[in-house]
Amino acid sequence: MLRVEGLRVVLGEVVVLDGLDLEVAEGEIVVLLGPSGCGKSTLLRTIVGLERPSGGRVVWSGEDLTSTAPHQRDFGLVFQDHALFPHMNVASNVAFGLRVAGLAVAGREARVAEVLDLVGLEGFGGRSVDTLSGGEAQRVALARSLAPGPRLLMLDEPLGSLDRVLRDRLVEDLGVLLGGIGQASIYVTHDHDEAFALADRIAIMGEGRIRRIGTVAEVWSDPVSSYVARCLGHENLVELDRSGGCALGRLGDGPGTVLLRPGQVVLSQGPDGIEATVVGSLFRSDRFSLRVAVGDMEVLIPAAEAVPNGSGVRLSVGPDAVIPLTV
């Protein structure tokens, strides 16, 4: 339903978006992932009409919206800082867009109650916004954007100011909510765990362009480039010499960067294997990982338990361990 074609945005002398293309289908959640400054927020602002592109088009169901005013696009935008009106209570905040659209009082009240219930805030209408927790405020901001029934909802790092535990809980709730109502959405984040939890498709941005796009499984298993692999949180990127070798052996046909698939470099159970030294033990979520030194390089491998630093181990490399990467 949304098609962005060759979008180019120049701010001052900086090219922020450089011929970017993107499509979002009906009911689809597309997550934009990338480091700060890669153009994610500018893309949202341009789609919603707050930035004017110097080239390209924003098209919705065949209609060119590039020159259409923001309030006529029927798109919703949720910011990280909530941007709630402090002089209004929760219900008035949520009803703001409905009032601007001229909806009658009875209709506004019914819709406000409906969306507050949808985001888990039933009965909060009379609350002052300065009594809300960070998570509650973010839900109110979401309800305000959903109330007018936007054709497209865009969320610009909406959970970035919240602590990790609350973020994990809200991102799960958000995925269920958006998927349940079939809301076409673009979600911006620099956190790959958030991206994996929400995305129907994930788009990795860099240098004002989309560097890789696909389902989470597609992009994770074949990131194509070292830039995308690092954005996704892959650990074991290895530089090969002219002969395609490294401390783990010959892994390619020549120089370049390869990714070692997670779980394909493991502790060897027999006397054979590549000698390595444990330099660190990590516990993440429900599993251990070991950082081991092999010659002049280090790799991260799965383990059943922590192993003392300095311990000698042996490694084996699986037959499908290597994914070649471009720069």
Residues in contact with 111: Cβ distance below 8 Å, sequence separation at least 6, in sequence order: 95, 98, 103, 147
* Tokens (6 digits) for 237: 């990127």
CB neighbours of residue 268 within 10 Å:
15
Render the burial of 165-186: b for 16+ CB within 10 Å, e for the rest: eebeebbeebbebbeeeebbbb
d(C-alpha 110, C-alpha 102), whole Å = 14
d(C-alpha 240, C-alpha 170), whole Å = 42
d(C-alpha 327, C-alpha 317), whole Å = 23
Q: Cβ distance 182 to 32 under 8 Å? A: no
pLDDT score for 82: 74
Query: For residue 188, is pLDDT > 90?
Result: yes
Based on the fold, state whether residues 194 and 253 are members of the same structural domain: no
Based on the fold, state whether residues 54 and 135 are members of the same structural domain: yes
pLDDT score for 232: 94
pTM beyond cutoff 0.85: yes
| Final residue of a structural domain among 165, 197, 231 | 231
pLDDT score for 114: 92
CATH number of the domain enclosing 62: 3.40.50.300
What's the pLDDT band for 172 if we cut at 50, 70, 90?
confident
Based on the fold, state whether residues 241 and 95 are members of the same structural domain: no
Based on the fold, state whether residues 18 and 166 are members of the same structural domain: yes
Residues in contact with 209: Cβ distance below 8 Å, sequence separation at least 6, in sequence order: 17, 18, 19, 20
DSSP state of 79: -
Q: Cβ distance 90 to 125 under 8 Å? A: yes
Based on the fold, state whether residues 85 and 220 are members of the same structural domain: yes
pLDDT score for 63: 96
Q: How far is CA 72 from CA 27, 59, 100, 160, in A?
A: 21, 13, 12, 28
Amino acid at 287: R
pLDDT score for 97: 87
Amino acid at 221: S
Based on the fold, state whether residues 159 and 304 are members of the same structural domain: no
* Mean pLDDT within 189-193: 89
Mapped to the 3 state alphabet, what secondary structure does 123-192 carry? CCCCCEHHHCCHHHHHHHHHHHHHCCCCCEEEEECCCCCCCHHHHHHHHHHHHHHHHHHCCCEEEEECCH
Q: How far is CA 217 from CA 10, 153, 195, in A?
A: 33, 24, 12
Up-side HSE of residue 79: CA atoms within 13 Å toward CB? 7
| Final residue of a structural domain among 207, 231, 255 | 231
Based on the fold, state whether residues 215 and 272 are members of the same structural domain: no
Number of domains comprising the chain? 2
pLDDT score for 158: 85
Write out the residue range of the structural domain in which residue 197 sits: 2-231
What's the pLDDT band for 184 if we cut at 50, 70, 90?
very high
pLDDT score for 324: 94
Amino acid at 11: L
Based on the fold, state whether residues 102 and 49 are members of the same structural domain: yes
More confident residue, 225 or 175: 225
Q: Cβ distance 182 to 200 under 8 Å? A: no
pLDDT score for 284: 77
Based on the fold, state whether residues 216 and 261 are members of the same structural domain: no
| Final residue of a structural domain among 231, 251, 266 | 231
Q: How far is CA 65 from CA 55, 57, 73, 284, in A?
A: 13, 7, 7, 45
Query: For residue 285, is pLDDT > 80?
Result: no
Reduced to 3 states (helix: H, G, I; strand: E, B; else coil), residue 110 is helix
CATH number of the domain enclosing 252: 2.40.50.140
* Mean pLDDT within 290-303: 93
* Mean pLDDT within 106-117: 91
Sign of CA dihedral 302, 307, 309, 314: negative
Based on the fold, state whether residues 253 and 197 are members of the same structural domain: no
Tens of pLDDT, residue by residue over 220-243, are: 999 999 999 999 999 999 999 999
Phi first, then psi, for residue 201 (nearest 5°) are -135, 150
Based on the fold, state whether residues 252 and 221 are members of the same structural domain: no
Based on the fold, state whether residues 212 and 316 are members of the same structural domain: no
Tens of pLDDT, residue by residue over 140-166, are: 999 999 999 999 999 998 887 777 888
Q: What is the mean pLDDT of the chain?
A: 92
